[in-house]
Structure formats: structure tokens, C-alpha cells
Chain A
Amino acid sequence: MVTAGLSKQREKEKPLRFRIWQSRELYLFLLPAVLLVIVFSYLPMYGILVAFKDYKPHLGILDSAWAGFTYFERFFSMPMFGVILKNTLILSFYMLIAGFPLPIILALALNSAPNQKLKKLVQTITYAPHFISIVIIVGMINIFFSPSTGIVRNLLNNVGLIEGNIDVLMNASSFPHLYVWSGVWQTLGWSSIIYLGALSGVDPALHEAAIIDGATKFQRVLRIDLPLIVPTIVILLILESGTIMNVGFEKTFLMQNAFNLSTSEVINTYVYKIGIREAQYSLSAAIGLFNSGINFIMILLVNQVSRRFGQESLW
């Protein structure tokens, strides 16, 4: 320890120039990452100026005239503002409430599974949908719920629950349910991994002691396993709530059709439409900045909260 401290001090005493020269190779190792981050993350941050300017493509970002907060004001006074904000929040909260408990139950069940083969099988199958692309998932939704030939319609007809065709794909009020439950289906297994990891850290001595005291399996899960993964649950819940304004663009966008726009238009899809399709760059950039701003504040808040809880914070 003493020599380590001394050598550290000696390192510090060397002139800065020497220490930089000594680490030249390490800088080269970092170069590709730093260059790409500058091009794809930091340069676009300078592009945020567009939100405060009257952007004209032929003038470029710097030479376009300043517009102040005009585009933000326009956004807040649009009728669309309320709709997309509401849709974004509804989808987020619904996803959070529906998607959160099931992976925990799955992990607890897997952890105490009496049969190892079944455990392996359930894990293999439930992780799989995580690796299927969003395009395919949405394609499957479209096929399964197809009004006249889909399996859901056929099943419901077979058991006599409905007559004729179904219209869930063309029905705005069913969009949130389709969106959320297909998401639960896709991420259920994958999300359980983190809890399984936490459960594998539970000291077996606790279970042995409880067995000697005559605890049943259910009691042990409830009084030992569950409390010990509560910290993981809390930190994940907090992390999830930090992404509340980020409803996945890809899936929402692919699931949109002319009939469900009133519930499926969210901030991210709207930014795409008026920005890329209608080329209203400044307005779209302003909406995007509003969204990232709220996200950023949410993450700062969430980090504070998780520190309060005495859990690990993000930084």
C-alpha cells in the first residue's frame, strides 16, 4: 500500500507534458469513439439552434434569421399539443403498470421452479421475442388481428364470442391495449433476467434457516426472496419512470393507421411527420427539444430520488 501510494504521488509529480506523452497510445485508443461521438452526438447539439431560428435550407443553420421562442409558442398553442402529450403519457404509464409486475412474478417462479428442464425451456422461449424485430412484431399483430382472416377473429368465432369480423386494428380505443400487451409479450422474459440475477445472490443459508424453522416455500419466497430483490425493483422502477416521455417511436409509428391516429400519435411520431415529411424543420426541432428537455429534467429528478432512497444513483 505504501509503495503504491508513493508511486502514485511520483506519477503526479511528473510534468503534465510527460504524462500526456506517456499515455499517447491510450488517446489513440479513444480516438475513434470520441470522433464518432462528436459527429453523431455533439454536432447535432449545435443543430438545436434550428429550433430558435427561422431555418431556411439554402441559408444553413448559422445564417438563418433568429426566431426566438416563436416555434415553441406555436407548438404550445396547437390543438395537437394536448393530444400528443396525453397519448405519450397514457402509453408510457400503461406500459409501466402492465409491464412491471409480470417479469418479477416470472423470475420468482423460475427461481423456485421445481423442475430444471422446465425452467430452461421457459427461459429459452420467453427470451426469444426480445430478438425479433419490431417490424416483424407489428407484422404479426397485423396478421393475427386481421379483420377477416386473422387467427384472433377465427378463434373468437369458433368459441362463439363474436360473430363475423373484428375491427381492433381500425379502432382507436384498442390501440393502447394492442401496443402495451404486445410489448409485455415481447419483453416479459428479457426483463426477468435482471431479477433472476438479483435472486441468484440470495444467501442459501437464509433459506436453510427458514426451512429448519418450518417455513413453507411460499413463506420463504414472500419473506426472503421478495424483500431481497426490492432494491432492484425500486431502482428499475425509478429508471423506467425516467423514460416516461420516450414512447418507442418505431413501434408506435409502424402500428399507426388512418383510423387510430387519435390515440397513436405521440410526440416522437409527430416530430418525424412535420419535420421529415412536411419539412417544417424549426417547428419540429422545437417540439423535439421540448421532449428532450423534459426527459433530461426527468432523469435528473429520478437520479435525485434514487439517491434519497439510498440506492445507487446513476452517477
Chain B
Amino acid sequence: MRHALKRSNQDRLYDAVTYVILILLLLIVAYPLYFVVIASISDPKLVATGRILLWPQSFNLDGYMEVVRYSPIWTGYRNTLVYTVLFTSLSAMISLMAGYALSRKPFPGKTAVIAFLLFTMFFNGGLIPTYLLMKEIGLYGSPAIIVLMGAVNVTNIIISRTFMKSTIPDELYEAACMDGCSHTSFFFRIVMPVSKALIAVLVLFAAVSQWNSWFTAMIYLTKEEQMPLQMVLRDLIVNQSALSMASDSASMGGDAAAQIYLVESMRYAVIIVSTLPILCFYPFVQKYFVKGVMIGSVKG
């Protein structure tokens, strides 16, 4: 501590600069999110004329009312919920099972299977060949494609394999094997219970990606009532036509400006409504994100 005084000024300056950088980045990322929240619960006219900047004013839930009345949102919600649950269980299960098999000691064809899976990370048929093939084999237009396509994620399989290699030694299986345990019962009784962190990460990533996805639906689904939430949102907040129509039918006439304000307000509300599940989920699972990214960065 002899140098404490000599250092402290420069260190204090450094700390100050660090504070400034962190707070600046924090504000830049946080403000747009915060603004959406306050804009969605304020008087749309004040929002549109730029008088809502820091605090919500003239509490107003008209935007939310419009969203609640707009039925395609709820159909989309239900579809996304179903797709997400099915996709997530399938995808996590496949990664766990394949990861387990590939983490065991050599068996005939193991290297070939790994190469077979890895190759798909670097080369694929591309959009049009895939599209034509899906038409030929009859998956086009079927909601099954939403659940099946992308359910095999090679990165996740590698993550599982790496995780299991390091946490479940072959000796453990051999001991269980002596007691007459098969791979299947070993997998369900020993491997699954000790892989909770891995399962959390796999479930989280799969659920978020399916919740947010719209591209597969846009290409392969044809029926309105099968569309996931993000497709409905796309029509509402990106292509604005659907939204104006929705509010046209909802509100009775009125002047054009009020109409525009209401549409804007509805857009803020719909962002909140559709992101809410993830935001509620987020604080509880945040600690796993970092773990997931770190496991993922370990080379298999």
C-alpha cells in the first residue's frame, strides 16, 4: 500500500472513465426499451408530438384495448405456444440423445456420424432446393414443418457431447452396466438428472429461437390460422397495412390524426404484449445464458 497515494489519482480517473462508458452503454441500450414501455401506457397524442420522453403521462390503455380486440394476435399466440413447446422438447431431446451417444467410447461408425452431422454446418442446399423438396415430400403447408425443421441443431449436439464427456465418465456407465443397466435406463436415470444445467441451456435457446421465428412460417405455411405470432406481428408493425385496417374496423370514424395516433399506440402495445413472456422468463434464466455461451465456445 506504499504506492497507494501515487496510484490513486490515475486509478480514480480510470474508474471514472469506466463508469462513464458503462452508464453510457447502459442508457443507449435501455432507453429505447424504456421508451416503448412508457409510450405504450401514455396518451398517444402526447407520444406522437414528442412530449413523452422521460415519464409516462396521461395514463392511457387504448392501444392495449385495440390489441386485445384484434383476434389474429391470439390465434398467433396460441400457435406459437404450441410450436414452441413441441419444438423445444423435440430439439432438446434430440440434442441430449445424440450428444450422449457421441460422448461414449468408440463404436463402429461414430466418426462417420460426426462427419455426417458436421458437414451440414458448412454446406446446405439453399432456400430453393429445400423449398422444392419440401413440396415434393408433402411437408409444404403442414405445421409439422415448423416443429421439425431446425430441430436438429448440430452446435447443440456438440455442446451436449462436450458436456457429457466431461461430466459422465465411461466408468460410470460401465459400473451401471455391471448391475445390468442398459444405455436407455442409464440415460434416463443417471444422465438426464445430472445434466440439468445443460438441459436448461438447450431448452432456453430452443424456446427463444422458436418463439421469435417467422421465416419458416412465411415460406412453408399457407393458412392464416396456422401462422405463429411473429407472422401476425410482421403484418402489424412492419407492414403497416394490416394495422390501419384493424383499427379502421375497430374505431368508429373520427378524425384522421386521432386514427394515426391510435395506430401508433397499438404498435407500442403489441410490442409489449408479444415480448412479455420472454421478459418474464428472462431474469430467472439469465444466469444460464452465460453458462450456455461458455459451454458452446468449448471445442468438441
Interface contact A45-B21, CB-CB below 8 Å: no
Interface contact B29-A126, CB-CB below 8 Å: yes
Which single member of A34, A55, A124 contacts B113 (CB below 8 Å)?
Answer: A34
Which single member of B120, B260, B274 contacts A149 (CB below 8 Å)?
Answer: B260
Within 8 A of B (CB), among A104-143: 105-106, 109-110, 112-115, 118-119, 121-122, 124-129, 131-136, 138-140, 142-143
In the complex, B249 has a CB within 8 A of chain A:
no
How far does the Cβ of B196 sit from chain A's closest Cβ, in whole Å? 19
Within 8 A of A (CB), among B121-175: 122-133, 136-137, 148-152, 157
Interface contact B282-A128, CB-CB below 8 Å: yes
Stretch from A82-90, A92-100, A188-196 that touches the partner: A188-196
Interface contact B267-A143, CB-CB below 8 Å: yes
Which single member of A47, A105, A134, A140 contacts B32 (CB below 8 Å)?
Answer: A140
User: What residue in chain B is nearest A250 (Cβ atoms)?
Assistant: B215
Q: How many residues of B contact A (CB 8 A)?
A: 101
Within 8 A of B (CB), among A32-76: 32-34, 36-37, 39-51, 55, 60-61
Which single member of A29, A129, A139 contacts B187 (CB below 8 Å)?
Answer: A29
If the complex has contacts A50-B132, A151-B35, are A291 and B293 also in contact, measured as CB distance less than 8 A?
no
- Enumerate chain A residues within 8 angstroms of B128, measured Cβ to Cβ: 47, 50, 271, 275-276, 281, 284-285, 288
User: What residue in chain A is nearest B90 (Cβ atoms)?
Assistant: A32
User: What residue in chain B is nearest A33 (Cβ atoms)?
Assistant: B98
Which single member of A133, A271, A312 contacts B211 (CB below 8 Å)?
Answer: A133
Q: With contacts defined as CB atoms under 8 Å apart, how many contacts are there between chain A and chain B in the complex?
A: 279
How far does the Cβ of B117 sit from chain A's closest Cβ, in whole Å? 6
Stretch from B66-74, B81-89, B233-241 that touches the partner: B233-241
Interface contact A131-B208, CB-CB below 8 Å: yes
**Contact indicator per residue, chain B 9-31, by CB within 8 Å of chain A (1) or not (0):** 01100110011011101101110
If the complex has contacts A20-B108, A25-B184, are A30 and B97 also in contact, measured as CB distance less than 8 A?
yes
How far does the Cβ of B86 sit from chain A's closest Cβ, in whole Å? 14
- Enumerate chain A residues within 8 angstroms of B246, measured Cβ to Cβ: none
In the complex, A23 has a CB within 8 A of chain B:
yes
How far does the Cβ of B278 sit from chain A's closest Cβ, in whole Å? 5
Within 8 A of A (CB), among B264-298: 264, 267-268, 271, 274-275, 278-279, 282-283, 286, 289-290, 293-294, 297
Main secondary structure of the interface of A (DSSP, over half): helix
- Cα separation A30 to B7 with both chains bound (whole Å): 59
Interface contact A127-B289, CB-CB below 8 Å: yes
If the complex has contacts A114-B18, A139-B238, A217-B11, are A26 and B183 also in contact, measured as CB distance less than 8 A?
yes
In the complex, A296 has a CB within 8 A of chain B:
yes
If the complex has contacts A29-B187, A133-B230, A216-B10, are A45 and B129 also in contact, measured as CB distance less than 8 A?
yes
**Contact indicator per residue, chain A 178-214, by CB within 8 Å of chain B (1) or not (0):** 0000000100111001101100000000000000001
- Enumerate chain A residues within 8 angstroms of B104, measured Cβ to Cβ: 26
In the complex, B118 has a CB within 8 A of chain A:
yes
In the complex, B79 has a CB within 8 A of chain A:
no
- Cα separation A48 to B187 with both chains bound (whole Å): 39
Interface contact A217-B15, CB-CB below 8 Å: yes
Interface contact A151-B18, CB-CB below 8 Å: no
Interface contact B11-A216, CB-CB below 8 Å: yes
- Enumerate chain A residues within 8 angstroms of B297, measured Cβ to Cβ: 194, 197
In the complex, A19 has a CB within 8 A of chain B:
yes
Which single member of B36, B116, B151, B211 contacts A140 (CB below 8 Å)?
Answer: B36
Within 8 A of A (CB), among B224-257: 230, 233-234, 236-238, 240
Give me 26 A-to-B residue pairs in the complex whose CB atoms sit less than 8 angstroms apart, sorted by A's number: A29-B98, A29-B101, A32-B93, A44-B124, A44-B130, A44-B133, A46-B129, A47-B133, A48-B126, A109-B25, A112-B14, A125-B33, A134-B214, A136-B275, A139-B236, A142-B240, A151-B35, A154-B49, A185-B29, A197-B297, A217-B15, A250-B215, A271-B126, A276-B128, A292-B124, A312-B299
Closest 7 CB pairs of A and B: A154-B50, A47-B129, A44-B125, A139-B237, A288-B126, A133-B212, A23-B107
Given A216-B10, A221-B14: 18 more A-B contacts, CB < 8 Å: A25-B184, A34-B113, A37-B120, A44-B130, A46-B125, A61-B136, A105-B21, A106-B25, A126-B25, A133-B230, A185-B29, A197-B293, A197-B297, A216-B14, A250-B215, A276-B127, A291-B126, A292-B124
